[in-house]
Structure 1
Amino acid sequence: MCFRDGQQVLGEASERKIQQISLSGVTVKRRISEMLDDIMEQVIQEIKPSPTGMFTIQLNESTGVSSCAQLLAFVRYVFLRDIKDEYLFCIQLETTTTALDVMEKLTSLFTTNGITWKKICGGCTDGAPTMLGSKSGLQKHFKEVALIAKGVHCVIHRFTLASKTLPDALCKILEAVVKCVNFVKTGDLNSRFFQNLCRGMDSEHEALLFYSKVRWLSTGNDVNRVFELRGEHKLFLEMKGKDDLLSHYNEVLWEPRLSYLADIFEQLNRLNLKLQGKERNVFHHIDCIRAFLDKLQNWQRKVSAGNFAMFENISIVLDEIEEDHLLDPSLKNFIIQHLKSLESELKRYFPKFEKERKLVRNPFSGTLDIAVIPDDGQHEFLDLRNESAVRDLYEEKYLTVFWCSMYQSYPKLTGRITLSHGPKLKPSTRKKAAAQRKLRNLRNKW
């Protein structure tokens, strides 16, 4: 069944006929390109009549396995009394990938479609110098052409950078896991042998998962799968005579540390998924990060008392091994130190949460001081705060739907509500983080 904008276009009989038509690669490519152009045109037509006339853009430059540099863009704008997120375009960067190249592509696109830079009120990027650089980065060029635009460092990207920080002991375990997985996965014969072994042992899974640095969730999925198939994996290495890889399994604290690594990555993956999806805004992101920081502190207290109940995998391993390992000081200290370092990294990437805009989050809060509201919006704020129908709407609708519904009645007040993708990272913190990265690179080089 074929659909367009939710409406049926062709019946099942026509669909079967279309599926029987053999298309060349050039034809398929052309039709996909036409579909993408049509989607972009529809999004642009929705942006232009937006009630606020403003939108934010999220950019990401990525190089694929074929060394093709691509610039992807997503936009967020007001549509039908709600904030809508849509894919805008994917453009190839033919040569260099500097901030000027990105600006040139964006300017050309905006000029062709009649969009002015003044309509951009925010830009969200990753932390690469090309994007977030304070001297020649894309964010700096943004502010030169869009004076009200607020540049932000993607919250999900920042969280992923913080979660990748591992002590040397855990790094060695992760490297060993990757080597063991690659030995099985890189050869077709080994993959088939391992699959038959898992089938013969009635295992829940029959294959290991590849680890990819680009895919943020792959680390946790890879380590968890290795932990679940650790018995089968160990037996397979014995059969293949891989004593160098098998030596890891023979270490005393290998399984407890592997299980902890699987547990902590599972928690990080859950938080990563919470930060994604519809109806996710800066307030939701801040709440999730704060909750996770509290969990880290709580886990440190529990591990200090010898309680590992919150870590499912390590609890299973500790029940299987000797009792004296349950209170092994080195194991407890190892876990506590990593939890502390993870907490420290999160606080470094999120140094100080911005003061929550109480006006945005809850305009009916009893502690909200009217003095913090600009003079031209104070009258509208007092009218809004004392309107019972507005209060009922606030309690019934999502925060984004509520403020989009208020634009017609209170334009001066709601005009100050920006469509932010995440909290801003202070320039001083960016410089400090860049200096620390350079220092680490020099150490690794030597």
Structure 2
Amino acid sequence: MISMEAWIWISGCLKFKELKHKLQLQQNMFSCMHSQSEGAVKASFIIAEEIARACRPFTEGEFINNCIEKVCGIVCPAKKQAFANISLSRNTIASRVDELGSDLQIQLKEKAKDFVANSLAIDESADRTDTAQLSVFIRGVDAKFSVTEELLDLRAIHGTTSGQDILSQVEQCVSNSELQWNKLVALTTAGAPAMCGGVRGLVREKHTGENHCIIHQEALYGKVLGMGQVMTVVNKTVNFIRSRGLNHWQFRSLLEEENCVHEDLPYHTEVRWLSRGKVMQRFYDTHNARFMESKQKAIPELEDEKWLSDLSFLCDITDHLNGLNVKLQGRKQLITEMRDSVKAFQMKLRLWEGQMHQGNLSHFPVCQSVSDAVTIPFPTEVDAGKLNTLKVEFSRRFADFERQKINFDLFANPFAVDADTVPVHFQLNSSNCSVILI
């Protein structure tokens, strides 16, 4: 016969096992919920990153969530609740993007501590609310020659945008990022006077090096050709067509009826200088469409064979300049590679100038087509003079490249340079040649 004490002990053991089993079930449930919650948060961050990269509105998250739930209800109904736990509301996406941005800033700040040398590129432009936005990019190199290129900051400038205002914003950006001024070896800007003024102020105050943006300099060359009379007519015509919805629709309909190779005519903007070549080419390809005449806005210049010759030259040369500009763009490019592209283009200018003097338009297809159509002699000598002007302007603006030729050649191919022409401390130690990278 079991005693009362034994019966109480057995009952206690059974109760303990029951409670232990319930606790294990609860722990497993919480563990499963935690795992699902962690996965849902991670998925939310991934989708928020994709929305930010695509520059889509934050409200896109709700649309994506709706699509996911409907797809999962068909493909894997058992997992529908797990996908429903992913929060993709507008506020959540905004919060996720802010957290991702803050994390990237922290990572960049940590990387910047290891930079042996760095350079900044700054540019200013107005947004659609007419607020000046100053973008600051950084390129840094650490002791292992690992190159980092990132957007350092985007700062709004309210009020004036003088050189002192730009300088003040750059100083704040450098200070917030905890960069060291003694490691700043170059500051790249556009050719605008305010930007150059800011650079000069920074040079005098912080004793840094200075150079100007290669791409921006190349974009200024079209202005030295003195062909504003051509661009004025083109811009006026394009604005008339594109600024009115009815005109734009009728123009597109006319191009479609005439089976034109193009379906539309783009705007030209000074901010996006690559658009000039596209606008010029489209304008030439569609200038035979008598749309302006139908609107009682005839363009007399289109009947002027000399003006058409100037238009054809501007079409071809801007196309060549755009090709160079595209080569100079892109991440992880070395200065020596950009120098080679510019030098190759300078050699092309010399070749084209000589061919123009001979009346050879092989590399200027639009000029060739106009030359075959007009009754007057094509002004090859005038265009050769313009090419010479462009060649001289290239040499002037890229004079720094010639002054650094020895250093560029030493870095690009240290075993092909004359040892007597390089600095003494490089003559016997070729492994140090990679220092030119910074």
Class of the TM-score when normalised by the shorter of the 2 chains? 0.7 to 0.9
Of 122, 137, 149 in structure 1, the residue corresponding to residue 186 of structure 2 is 122
| Cα offset, 1:197, TM superposition | 1.0
> As a proportion of its length, which structure holds more helix?
2
Tell me what 1:75 maps to.
Answer: 138
| Cα offset, 1:354, TM superposition | 1.4
**Which amino acid counterpart does residue 199 of structure 2 have in structure 1?**
L
Say if 2:109 and 2:178, in contact at 8 Å, map to a contact too: no
Unaligned runs of 5+ in 1: 386-409, 420-446
Counterparts of 1:306 and 1:342, CA distance in 2: 19
Of 56, 68, 82 in structure 1, the residue corresponding to residue 119 of structure 2 is 56
The farther-off stretch of 100-109 and 311-320 is 100-109
| Cα offset, 1:143, TM superposition | 5.1
Number of equivalences: 363
Residue by residue, what CA displacement relative to the aligned partner does 1:400-442 show, whole Å, maximum 9, x if unpaired? xxxxxxxxxx6xx65x5353xxxxxxxxxxxxxxxxxxxxxxx
Counterparts of 1:34 and 1:213, CA distance in 2: 35
**Which amino acid counterpart does residue 239 of structure 1 have in structure 2?**
S
Matched residue SS, 1:97: coil
Unaligned runs of 5+ in 2: 1-42, 51-60, 69-86
Matched residue SS, 1:364: helix
Tell me what 1:406 maps to.
Answer: none
Matched, 1:372 2:372: no
| Cα offset, 1:223, TM superposition | 0.5
Of 219, 228, 238 in structure 2, the residue corresponding to residue 160 of structure 1 is 219
Call closer, same or farther: CA 1:305–1:138 in 2, change over 3 Å: closer
| Cα offset, 1:2, TM superposition | 7.7
Identity of aligned residues (%): 27
Matched residue SS, 1:127: coil
**Which amino acid counterpart does residue 41 of structure 1 have in structure 2?**
I
| Cα offset, 1:362, TM superposition | 2.3
Matched, 1:38 2:103: yes
Call closer, same or farther: CA 1:366–1:288 in 2, change over 3 Å: closer
Tell me what 2:18 maps to.
Answer: none
Tell me what 2:397 maps to.
Answer: 349
Call closer, same or farther: CA 1:103–1:304 in 2, change over 3 Å: closer
TM-score, structure 1 as length reference:
0.72
| Cα offset, 1:142, TM superposition | 4.1
Say if 1:2 and 1:15, in contact at 8 Å, map to a contact too: no
Matched, 1:231 2:288: yes
Matched, 1:305 2:358: yes
Say if 2:187 and 2:199, in contact at 8 Å, map to a contact too: no
**Which amino acid counterpart does residue 48 of structure 1 have in structure 2?**
K
Call closer, same or farther: CA 1:89–1:339 in 2, change over 3 Å: same
**Which amino acid counterpart does residue 154 of structure 2 have in structure 1?**
C
Say if 1:40 and 1:89, in contact at 8 Å, map to a contact too: no
**Which amino acid counterpart does residue 218 of structure 1 have in structure 2?**
S
**Which amino acid counterpart does residue 63 of structure 1 have in structure 2?**
A
Matched, 1:141 2:202: yes
Call closer, same or farther: CA 1:363–1:176 in 2, change over 3 Å: same
Call closer, same or farther: CA 1:305–1:105 in 2, change over 3 Å: closer
Call closer, same or farther: CA 1:56–1:19 in 2, change over 3 Å: farther
Greater RCO (CA < 8 Å, at least 6 residues apart): 1
Counterparts of 2:264 and 2:410, CA distance in 1: 52
Tell me what 1:362 maps to.
Answer: 413
Tell me what 1:382 maps to.
Answer: 428
Counterparts of 2:334 and 2:422, CA distance in 1: 26
> Over alpha carbons, which structure has the higher Rg?
2
Say if 1:36 and 1:89, in contact at 8 Å, map to a contact too: no
Residue by residue, what CA displacement relative to the aligned partner does 1:127-147 show, whole Å, maximum 9, x if unpaired? 3333323xxx334424533x4
Call closer, same or farther: CA 1:105–1:360 in 2, change over 3 Å: same
Counterparts of 2:293 and 2:422, CA distance in 1: 72
Tell me what 2:53 maps to.
Answer: none
Say if 2:137 and 2:150, in contact at 8 Å, map to a contact too: yes
Give matches, 1:321-336, under 5 Å: 321-322=374-375, 325=376, 328=377, 331-336=379-384
**Which amino acid counterpart does residue 271 of structure 2 have in structure 1?**
V
**Which amino acid counterpart does residue 64 of structure 1 have in structure 2?**
D
Tell me what 1:393 maps to.
Answer: none
Counterparts of 1:280 and 1:369, CA distance in 2: 29
| Cα offset, 1:68, TM superposition | 0.7
Of 311, 314, 325 in structure 1, the residue corresponding to residue 367 of structure 2 is 314
**Which amino acid counterpart does residue 261 of structure 2 have in structure 1?**
E
